[in-house]
Amino acid sequence: MADMSKLLEQARRAAEASYCPYSHFRVGAALLCKDGTVLTGTNVENRSYGLTNCAERSAVFSAVSAGKKEFAAIAISTPDSAVAVAPCGACRQVLSEFARAEFPVVFAGRDQRVDTTLGQLYPFDSLQNLKNGSRG
């Protein structure tokens, strides 16, 4: 079982490295691999906003680049928001490529924390149906 509070603290620290000159909205992610390795990511903005990369995807891409493809949990921190901000649709889609519905997800702002699962965030993922043996 992952220590989600410890993982969330690593995500908070990762947010400090954020490159967000346009939104001024820092995001950090800490991705726990099944072998115990933690890789972090942060949001990296670009003046061509569509080329921006989210913290969650930065962490996943970093992990895959390091040869890690089996993940145990993820934590996301948005320290510039009082409320917890959930991963965007693109990040949910990328996470679902590597994780099952029961994959633990925690996300937090300064004053709110949400503990959930990927399946609760992304309940109708077609790939999950394939992973679970359903072709319908």
66-96 tens-digit pLDDT: 999 999 999 999 999 999 999 999 999 999 9
| Alpha carbon distance 26, 67 (integer Å) | 27
Bridge partners (DSSP) listed for residue 117: 104
3-state SS class at 35: coil
Residue type, 60: V
Percentage above 70 pLDDT, the chain: 91
Averaged over 55-60, what is the pLDDT? 98
**Catalytically annotated residues:** 56
- Tokens linked to 33: 């691999």
**Total-model pTM:** 0.91
Residue range(s) defining the domain that contains residue 84:
4-131
Q: Examine residue 108 and state whether it is found in any structural domain, yes or no.
A: yes
Q: How many domains does the structure of the chain reveal?
A: 1
Q: Examine residue 91 and state whether it is found in any structural domain, yes or no.
A: yes
Instruction: Report the CATH number that the domain containing residue 66 is assigned in CATH.
Output: 3.40.140.10
38-55 tens-digit pLDDT: 999 999 999 998 899 999
Q: Examine residue 136 and state whether it is found in any structural domain, yes or no.
A: no
